[in-house]
Chain A
Amino acid sequence: MYVSLRDRPGSDEPGGSSVVRRVSSTVVLLGVVSLLTDVSSEMVASVLPLYLTAAVGLSTVAYGFLDGIYQGVSAFVRIAGGYAADRGGQPKWVAVVGYGVSALSRIAMLPAAGFGAIVGVVTADRLGKGLRTAPRDALIAESSDPKMLGRAFGVHRTLDTIGAAIGPIVAFALLAAVPNSYDSIWVVSFAVAVAGLAVLVLFVPNLRTTSGKARIGLRRAMREIGARPLRKPLIAAGVLGLLTVGDGFLYLALQDRDNFAATYFPLLYVGTNIAYLLLAVPLGRLADRVGRAKVLVFGHGALLAAYLLAALPAGGLGLTLGTLLLLGVFYAATDGVLPALVSRLVPAEARGSGISAAQTVVALARFASSLTFGLFWAVQGPTWSLLVFGVLLAAAIPASWWLLRGIDRTAVVTA
């Protein structure tokens, strides 16, 4: 899997340069940390529905409620994590706290019994995730050549997604070896998380984003977030986010019309992840070459195509796989590309805040989108709801193209 971390010499250099360009070792190390952490968290996440319904005895309804917490909580601590990283000028240690809290939450599953305790533990895990995302992305941006940011984020997201794919396999292999021993899953998950934390603490350099200058105050951070260079991308990300239907809904739309999708429902996200991890680096590199804003907007074009495929009245294997592929393209073209875009638009000392602002805008917009889409779905069913969102998205794409024009050339001079 490390093959993708290194470019073939001269593959994209006209004139056949022999320079082997790598992404920074810090990016690879952070990728390894994320890989291990994702193995750990996906181990828990993949067995949680089974654990809650089969071992704790909760119903699927309660699981739906828990899923809401799982997804919703982290958006709110993101800003805090980003700002804390900027304020202290020590993004690494903010990230360590975030990864540490999540690691501890695994071992807390051992004594946790009953719905309330499990909700608490899951919330702690999500708080940790929210806290660490922005400082980690700030570190990636800090340690990378600005011209290769898209590639750096692509490499990180690839490793991250590989971890997310391995986690469920480890969990179900464990359950096969020691039937019903969910405690074994928590313990192994904790051990993997500790290994990831160790790599982070011991090897990732504590890059100081402020390079010894005055610490950024809250007011200044807010001003940077609201400043002209960041305003347009934030608006564009918000509008696009409002029209981004959660992939869970798309999977449900697929299973509604198609027996293949219904039978393999739990595996649909794996299909998306595979496409995502294969495409994260190529699309990141494309973003470096043709412009990050262009690739970001293009990704939403893929999302629009996914809506249309999922809204078709006919089902079938090909259409289902096509939808998953398009969703993978969408994530690969947006998830790492957005922080790559944003991190160059704010001065270094406000980078964490800038990245977290963009990610929070997207998370909140998508949450609002899910609520609206859920209502639409209840009233009109999946097909019409997808078409409505598709039409709106088709209008929003050229609008954000216009908003973001020329943004890739904007470079912020670090004060």
Chain B
Amino acid sequence: MSVRGRVVLLAVILVVSLVGAGGYVWKVRQDQAAQLAQAPAVASGGDVAALRGRPHLIFRSTALGQGYGQVAVVPLSDPGGPRAFTPATCERVYATAADAICLSADRGIVTTYKAQLLDPAWAPVRDLPLTGLPSRARLSRDGSLVATTTFVYGDSYANPGQFSTRTIVTRTDGEVVGDIEQFKLVVDGRTVSAVDKNMWGVTFFDDDKFYATASSGGKTWLVEGTLAGRTVTAVREDVECPSLSPDRTRVAFKKHGDLPAGRWRLAVHDLRTGEETVLAETRSVDDQVEWLDDETIVYGLAREDASSASSDVWSVPADGTGTPKVLVSDAWSPAVVR
């Protein structure tokens, strides 16, 4: 082929690629706009302040259109009913009656993240220290302690399954209690000092005792720890992201078992008997679940259809019976305030 012919052919290929890819992106953009315009407005209503006087569920609303990503509130008496929107926008939210913790992302070439403590009127009180990609947030029951877990990832290709987390506990008055990964980890009476140890997913028992996940050398444990003692002790193996029941007798968690990489099954561990109950939810849930009451747990799950950016909050009985049900549609990151 002549040089001229090749130049023409290259020009044609470039134009076709440009028009094809540009057209595709343009169409996606149009579709997204149309989808937004047509999105059935999610039923909203109710007074946030009044709702917060009763037992309620706080979550991130993922209904398309106005209010996407905003924190909303529904009464526990009618979780599927209209939601009341708050002014806060968060990727993850957790709340008690006294305050709320909001993790938000500022997406860009370098996505930066913020953890803010909000007062009952949803106004920011203070920023909390945060490095990396936030994945878990919990407040203690009285709202005096906050724990956030972040991923600082990128660990080596030579170490499949390795990652690095930081889990910081802070008092809501601003005092940093510390990175619990620096705490002493005791497994079967022996102190684990391996540097690959990670801890994440804190759930508070009171304002000193807590449960969390510890991992080292490819194993994970449920650990019980105290802030004052700066020590955590392994209770049992294969537990991630524990969540303590309201009556403080059981811990709901995700277990890996012999599932393929990146999949988990929800289960409940009884702290009194050591018994484990596998729950009826068979889909993989990679989240720290929340307790609706002493019999039911709730968790967010992404919609099955990949095109949707939405998710729903599901509930399933904590005793292994029943079937999962949608509790709040178009919702994520549930927090129950009793």
Chain A residues packing against B (C-beta within 8 Å): 49, 55-65, 67-68, 70-72, 113, 115, 168-169, 172, 174-181, 183-184, 187-188, 190-192, 194-195, 198-199, 202-203, 246, 248-249, 251-252, 255, 259, 262-267, 367, 370-371, 373-374, 377-382
B21 touching A190, Cβ below 8 Å: yes
Contact with A along B1-43 (1 / 0, CB 8 A): 1000010011001100110110011001100100000000000
- Please indicate the chain A residues that have their CB under 8 angstroms from the CB of B160 in the complex: 64-65, 67-68
Cα(A230)–Cα(B9), bound, Å: 42
- CB-CB under 8 A from B189, the residues of chain A are none
Task: Verify A259–B24 contact, CB threshold 8 A.
Answer: no
Which residues of B have CB within 8 Å of A191?
17-18, 20-21
List chain B residues, Cβ under 8 A from A263: 112, 131
Which of B131, B155, B260 is the most central at the interface, judged by chain A CB atoms within 10 Å of its CB? B155
- Neighbour of B25 across the interface among A178, A199, A264, CB < 8 A: A178
Residues on B close to A: CB < 8 A? 1, 6, 9-10, 13-14, 17-18, 20-21, 24-25, 28-29, 32, 107-112, 131-132, 151-164, 194-196, 217, 260-262, 284, 286, 302, 306, 309
**A115 and B262 in contact (CB under 8 A), knowing A184-B24, A249-B156?**
yes
Please state if B153 and A63 are interface contacts (CB–CB under 8 Å).
yes
**Are A202 and B156 within 8 A (Cβ)?**
no
**Contact assessment for B262 and A172 in the assembled complex, using a CB-CB cutoff below 8 Å:** no
User: Is the CB–CB distance between B6 and A202 below 8 Å?
Assistant: yes
**Using Cβ atoms and an 8 Å threshold, which residues of chain A touch B164?**
252, 255
Q: In the complex the two chains form, is B24's CB within 8 Å of A180's CB?
A: no
Asked whether, in the complex, the Cβ of B109 is within 8 Å of the Cβ of A169, the reply is: yes
Secondary structure dominating the interface of A: helix
Chain B positions within 8 Å of A62 at CB level = 261-262
**How far does the Cβ of B19 sit from chain A's closest Cβ, in whole Å?**
9
On whether A202 and B161 interact (CB within 8 A), knowing A115-B261, A181-B32, the answer reads: no
Task: Taking A68-B160, A178-B28 as given, write out 7 further A-B residue pairs in contact, using a Cβ cutoff of 8 Å, ordered by the A residue number.
Answer: A63-B153, A72-B157, A183-B24, A248-B156, A252-B164, A266-B111, A374-B159
Taking CB atoms, residues of chain A closer than 8 Å to B111 are 266
What residues on B are CB-neighbors of A380 within 8 Å?
195
**Which of B6, B28, B286 is close to A181, meaning CB atoms less than 8 Å apart?**
B28
Complex contacts, A246 vs chain B, CB 8 Å? 156-158
Chain A min CB distance to B33 (Å): 10
Interface centre among A115, A265, A367, A371 (most CB of B within 10 A): A265
Q: Are B158 and A367 in contact (CB under 8 A)?
A: yes
Given A57-B286, A67-B157, A246-B156; A379-B195 close (CB under 8 Å): yes
Q: Which residues of A contact B157 (CB under 8 A)?
A: 64, 67-68, 70-72, 246, 248, 370
Q: Could you tell me if B14 and A60 are in contact, using CB atoms closer than 8 angstroms?
A: no
Question: In the complex, which residues of chain B have a beta carbon less than 8 angstroms from the beta carbon of A178?
Answer: 25, 28-29, 32
When distances are taken between beta carbons in the complex, the residues of chain A under 8 Å from B28 are 178, 181, 183-184
In the bound complex, residues from chain B placing their C-beta under 8 Å from that of A199 are: 10
Contact B194 A378 (CB under 8 A): yes
A251 touches B110 (CB 8 A): no
Cβ contacts A to B, 13 pairs, < 8 Å: A61-B261, A64-B161, A64-B162, A67-B156, A178-B29, A181-B28, A183-B28, A191-B17, A191-B21, A251-B154, A265-B132, A265-B153, A267-B110
B109, A65: Cβ atoms under 8 Å? no
Closest to B24 in A: A187
Assembly CA distance A5 to B76 (angstroms):
68
Shortest Cβ gap from A199 to chain B (Å): 7
Distance between Cα atoms of A68 and B160 in the complex (Å)? 6
For A55, the closest partner residue in chain B by CB is B306
Known: A174-B25, A194-B17, A195-B14. Is A58-B262 also a contact (CB below 8 A)?
yes
Known interface pairs A59-B286, A64-B163, A178-B29; A255-B152 also in contact (CB < 8 Å): yes
What's the Cα separation between A115 and B131 when bound, in Å? 28
Bound Cα distance from A187 to B32, whole angstroms: 17
Task: Flag if B10 contacts A202 (CB, 8 Å).
Answer: yes
Q: Among B13, B24, B155, point to the contact of A198 (Cβ < 8 A).
A: B13
Q: Which residues of B contact A183 (CB under 8 A)?
A: 24, 28
**Structural contact, B158 and A371, CB atoms closer than 8 A:** yes
- Write out the residue numbers on chain B whose beta carbons fall within 8 Å of the beta carbon of A192: 17, 21
Across the interface, A177 reaches (CB within 8 A) one of B25, B156, B262, B306, namely B25
- B156 CB contacts on chain A under 8 angstroms: 67, 246, 248-249, 252, 370, 373-374
Contacting pair A176 B107 (CB below 8 A): yes
Enumerate chain B residues within 8 angstroms of A49, measured Cβ to Cβ.
Answer: 153
Chain A residues closer than 8 Å to B18, beta-carbon distance: 191
